Structure 1
Amino acid sequence: MDTAHPAPGPAGAGPGPAARPMDPAGTAVQAEAAALRETAAACPVTLPGGVPGMIVTRHRELREFLADPRVAKNARHFGAHQRGELPEQWQLNAFALVRGMTTADGDDHRRLRGLAAKAFTPRRVAALRPWIERLTGDLIAALPGRRDAGGVVDLRRWFAYPLPMGVISELLGVDAVHRDRLHGLTHRLVSTSSTAADAMATQAGIHEVLAQVVAARRATPGDDLTSALIAARGDAPAGAHGDDGARDGSGDGSGSGDGSGDGAERLDDAELTGTLLLMIVAGHETTLNLITNAVRALSAHPEQLGPVLRGETGWDAVVEETLRWDSPVANFPFRYPTADIEVDGVTVPRGTPVLAGYAAAGRDPREYGPDAGRFDVTRPANRHLAFGHGAHYCLGAPLARLEAVIALRELFAAYPRLRVAVPEDALPPLPGFIGNSVAALPVTLE
């Protein structure tokens, strides 16, 4: 590996083992994850642009690392960034430098999370169930008309994508005219195989669309998260607030929730855009991958599907095992130790950008036993980390679970003999090492 770099180390330390370059194309995510996991609990890697980093790969160590108070998310702790060593244009800038909930710590994180949490209260998520069921039914009814001449339909394109995109757009108040473009842009955003120039152009395109979304909601506020966030800025028209789901003050660090724009809840333009970007990416790309991966798993393991169809195993168990076995997010950037941290005898130096290796941890035999690599919907005590852990645990986890259960239940009720139309190794992988799924899912409906 002539592109390998020495592992980052604390000042005065000698060079560590050669870093493994992360495959920017994501051609074999699970194989890469397994190789890293069996090398060490924390491994040096090379990120796009030759930037040195590390990845935490094993379940117990990753869980502890995610909850460690010495681990930060704000890029002011990113050593190479602070020293001016990053490429001027970098593929992963959006993950490192965007201002929002995923790159905030402490009071800032609690403030931003409290604002976003108002869209994901249990009452609001439960109220979405009938609407999600109707949308699911409409998409399933349209599937026969999506088949090609060979009777095959791309389930990812025509079902797994429009369902979560429709749901998150409803929550955010994103008009239908923007949805396909936003999907295309966010899909490229998480693709680490893009050139740096393409990645920067993608970020510019996303900001352009989000500016239009904000302008529309500023002009016509509604019962949606974007309108609530604009109200929190203090520049929305008088009385422009959502209902109780947007203003009930639930969630940690939410403050008074009065939408006045005063006090701790106020956020600036960059935080508004960053929060919307996070919600759109996390709100549809991950659920899209979850539904796609669950259908693939059930098609490849028909013996697991039978008990589910007979009601002996619940669809929630299918969702949880898919999250563990084939996490929708393979490796999430970034966290930065604020001091040198030991992870199972390996030093993770202060300021190192660290990937959370969810795909690797999900199949860790130290946590799940010698059959960790087997898809098993009856697996007990499924303590996966697919939604993260600690202060940054995914706000949208209950909604993603609800969407996936409804989608899978209704899809297989309509087509219990649905099968993927090509062998698993013929499915094109998603480009990149962040998302984990396939780019298309051709199925026969039967």
Structure 2
Amino acid sequence: MPIDVAALTAASGTELAEIFAGLHEAGPVHQARYHDVDMWLVTGHDEARKLLTDARRFSNRESYANPAAQASPMLVHQDVSGLPPMLPFLDPPDHTRLRRLINRVFTPARVERLRPSVQQIADELLDAMATRDECDLVRDFAFPLPVSVIMRLVGVPAERGEDFHRWAGLFATGDPEKMPLVPAAMAEMLAFAGSLVRQRRAQPEDDLLSAMVTATESGEAMTPEEAAAMVFALVAAGHETTLNLIGSGMLTLLDNPAMPAALRDDLSGVDAAVEELLRVDAPAKMTAFRYVVEDVELAGTRMRAGDVVAVLLAAANQDPRRFSGGACPHLAPETGTPHIAFGAGVHFCVGAPLARLEARIAFRGLLGRFTDFEITVPRDELRWKASLFVRGPLSLPMRYRLR
């Protein structure tokens, strides 16, 4: 029987681990169905990496999908509030041009220059947490940290901070009651991004957006529409990885108390711990849908041109053929087989260095300043994002004390 992909959105962490274990036992590639669309779901690590690094035979453009998939309202991704297609939905050479331009400005050096700002924002949030013994870790720390960082990165004026946080909150929502508000927020965000682009083109400043709108590569530059789309992508997706990693990662640490105990004694282990948290509870649960360009065989499974396929990143990172720990995190991550929480190939996450920096500073601060974390509601009352593609708690009420 095909796997019901949509049903994965409602599964708890424990249920997902059990589901993944069953899928790994059955094989690395599975027949699946997403609402009205037949598709393939890849759960094996090696097979996932092979697919992700083969942009020639596995495309992100719906134009390669079979007629049934193209007719499905569930698989329309590219036309977002009039935005030009964004990086995740482009193939080379269009993708290559934009990726080369963004790589010129979103460099490791620029990310490293953000370290003092990230540390300052984290310290201010931690200081506020230290004035009480309870908080909602998502609302009070995991969400405002990356959103505030992106505001500084792009150069959002302080007076627009409230709007910026509201838009980001709606993009990250998994609350069905709030979903009808998202299209209007997207339109507002696009209009705001367009005005920022026009300002920076006229008067560049020392921020990422100015660098984007002035960058050139072989005589080519981003159009204003492409730059606005990039701002939109940074807001809509740029904070999700850190937000979900902090929330889900804290739950994973609580379920494995030996890890936080050891890390409090030696915070130098936080960097490695973050990699394990990325592996065992990938904040991006599944890739965007991809489409088979030409008949291809993957792990003995014959896929036809036009077939829909997706990688279940969260399962591939727990593949027991490559990670002996499976769903259990290790204090010392295994070497030799890197996780694919940020994807692989040409679509490897642009913001991965920033997400790592934010998460490392976040967990050093949380574990260095507080102890005895305890969730103040029953686990089965925690609400999770009702999303197929990202995973994280909507709220995380906690009690703690200063070290």
- Category of TM-score, reference length = shorter chain: 0.7 to 0.9
Give how far 1:33 is off. 4.3
Residue 386 of structure 2 aligns with an amino acid whose one-letter code is P
- Which one-letter code corresponds to 2:57 in the other structure? R
Q: CA deviation at 1:329?
A: 0.6
> One-letter code of the match for 2:127?
A
Other-structure match for 2:148: 166
In 2, Cα distance between equivalents of 1:408 and 1:393:
24
- Per the TM alignment, residue 297 of structure 1 is displaced from its structure 2 partner at its CA by 1.4
Rounded Cα–Cα distance in structure 2 between residues aligned with 1:294 and 1:40: 28
In the other structure, the counterpart of 1:403 is 358
Aligned length: 392
Residue matched to 2:207: 224
Instruction: In structure 2, list runs of 5 or more residues that go unmatched.
Output: none
Q: Does 1:378 align with 2:378?
A: no
Cα-to-partner distance string for 1:306-364 (whole Å, 9 max, x where unaligned)? 22111186101110000000001101212222112222122232223322211111111
The one-letter amino acid paired with 2:4 is: R
Which residue of structure 1 lines up, in the alignment, with residue 172 of structure 2?
187
Q: Residue 123 of structure 2 corresponds to which residue in structure 1?
A: 137
Confirm or deny: 8 A CA contact 1:92 1:192 kept in the other structure.
no
Residue 354 of structure 1 aligns to which amino acid in structure 2?
V
Whether the 8 Å CA contact 1:25–1:193 is kept in 2: the answer is: no
Structure 1 range deviating more: 267-276 or 178-187: 267-276
Q: Taking structure 2 as the reference length, what is the TM-score of the superposition?
A: 0.86
Structure 2 counterpart of 1:71, one-letter code = F
Secondary structure of 1:55's counterpart equals strand
Q: Secondary structure at the match of 2:252?
A: helix
The code of the aligned residue for 1:338 comes to V
Q: How far apart, CA to CA, are the structure 1 residues paired with 2:198 and 2:366?
A: 37
The C-alpha deviation readout for 1:230-278, integer Å capped at 9, x for no partner, is 335xxxxxxxxxxxxxxxxxxxxx625xxxxxx3x23334433332222
Residue 243 (structure 1) aligns with: none
| Among 308, 311, 321, the residue aligned to 1:366 | 321
1:427 maps to which residue? 382
Structure 1 residue 284: Cα displacement = 0.7
Looking at structure 2, the residues matched to 192 and 354 of structure 1 have their Cα atoms a distance apart, in angstroms, of 27
Q: Are the structure 2 counterparts of residues 196 and 122 from structure 1 closer, same or farther at C-alpha, using a change threshold of 3 Å? A: closer
Any conservation in 1 of the 2:194–2:225 contact (CA below 8 Å)?
Answer: no
* 8 Å CA contact 2:246, 2:359 repeated in 1: yes
C-alpha distance in 2, partners of 1:427/1:159? 17
Paired with 2:117 and 2:180, the residues of 1 have a C-alpha distance of 40
Unaligned runs of 5+ in 1: 1-16, 233-253, 257-262
Q: 1: distance between equivalents of 2:185 and 2:32?
A: 25
Supply the distance in 1 between the matched residues of 2:179 and 2:172 (Cα, whole angstroms).
15
Q: Secondary structure at the match of 1:359?
A: helix
Map Cα deviations across residues 365-385 of structure 1 (whole Å, 9 max, x no partner).
11112x312122223216210
Match of 1:280 among 224, 235, 240: 235
Residue deviations 1:9-41 (CA, integer Å, cap 9, x gap): xxxxxxxx5452422743436255445444432
Residue 235 of structure 1 corresponds to which residue in structure 2? none
Look up the SS of the partner of 1:332 in the other structure.
coil
Matching of residue 79 in structure 1 with residue 66 in structure 2: yes
* Pair 424,230 (structure 1): closer, same or farther in 2 beyond 3 Å: same
* Structure 1 residue 212: Cα displacement: 4.1
Q: CA 1:224–1:91 in structure 2 vs 1: closer, same or farther (change >3 Å)?
A: same
CA distance in 2, matches of 1:86, 1:205: 27
Indicate which of 5, 10, 20 corresponds to 2:4: 20
Cα distance between partner residues in 1 of 2:250 and 2:361: 13
- Alpha-carbon distance in structure 2 between the residues aligned to 1:231 and 1:442: 44
Distance 1:268 1:79 in 2: 31
Q: Does 1:122 align with 2:76?
A: no
Identify if the C-alpha distance between structure 1 residues 70 and 347 changes in structure 2 by more than 3 Å, giving closer, same or farther.
same
1:110 aligns with 2:96: yes
Q: Is the 8 A contact 1:56 1:354 kept in 2?
A: yes
Cα shift readout 1:138-175 (whole Å, capped 9, x = no counterpart): 11001145x5xxx5210111111111111122112233
Amino acid at match of 2:105: A
Q: Could you tell me which residue of structure 1 aligns to residue 135 of structure 2?
A: 153
Greater mean alpha carbon deviation, residues 266-275 or residues 99-108 = 266-275
CA distance in structure 2 between the aligned counterparts of 1:94 and 1:139, rounded to whole angstroms: 37
Question: How far apart, CA to CA, are the structure 1 residues paired with 2:76 and 2:20?
Answer: 21
> Which residue of structure 1 lines up, in the alignment, with residue 276 of structure 2?
321
Quick one: which amino acid aligns to residue 39 of structure 2? G
Contact 2:286/2:314, CA 8 A, preserved across alignment: yes
Judge conservation of contact 2:121–2:145 (CA < 8 Å) in 1. yes
1:24–1:431 contact (8 Å) kept in structure 2: no
Deviations 1:417-439 (A, max 9, x none): 33333343332111112111111
Shift of 1:183: 0.9
Please give the per-residue CA displacement for 1:39-60, whole angstroms capped at 9, x wherever unaligned.
Answer: 4322233335x23332211111
Partners of 1:270 and 1:201 lie apart in 2 by 18
Where do residues 52-67 of structure 1 align in structure 2 (5 Å cutoff)? 52-67=38-53
